[in-house]
Amino acid sequence: MPAIRPETITTRRPVKNYQVNSLINLSYAALRQALTSSGHIDPNVDGVLTIRLDPLPTRRASTAIAELCQHLTATKTRYLGTDLGADLITRYEIKSAP
């Protein structure tokens, strides 16, 4: 279970007009798609746990999720209690499209 549920955060903001509501619904859909898509977890870099997601079907969704990945990586969240002997800092990224 993820420690943070970004799709919940984006959908609970108060909405005043239709266009903003539509954008929030699109962001929710992109997040759900990203959370259910495939990817890789790579603990091979010392002190870093890299979560690398496969690109989403549309360029727009992949770009949006890539920006979210940058923001999540900037938080330098620690993945605690691993068997690797130290806490790992999580890094999120999208694989480049072939």
Report domain extents, the chain. Answer: 6-94
Predicted confidence (pLDDT) per residue in 66-89, tens digit: 888 888 899 888 877 766 567 888
Structure token digits, residue 91? 């890094």
What confidence score (pLDDT) does residue 74 get? 92
Higher pLDDT, 47 or 85: 47
With a cut of 80, say whether residue 22 has pLDDT above it: no
Residues 9 and 11: their CA atoms lie apart, in Å, by: 6
Q: Residues 36-63: what's their mean pLDDT?
A: 87
Distance of CA 83 to the CA centre of its chain: 24
- Residue 67, SS3 per DSSP: helix
Higher pLDDT, 60 or 42: 42
- Residue 78, SS3 per DSSP: strand
Residues 35 and 37: their CA atoms lie apart, in Å, by: 6
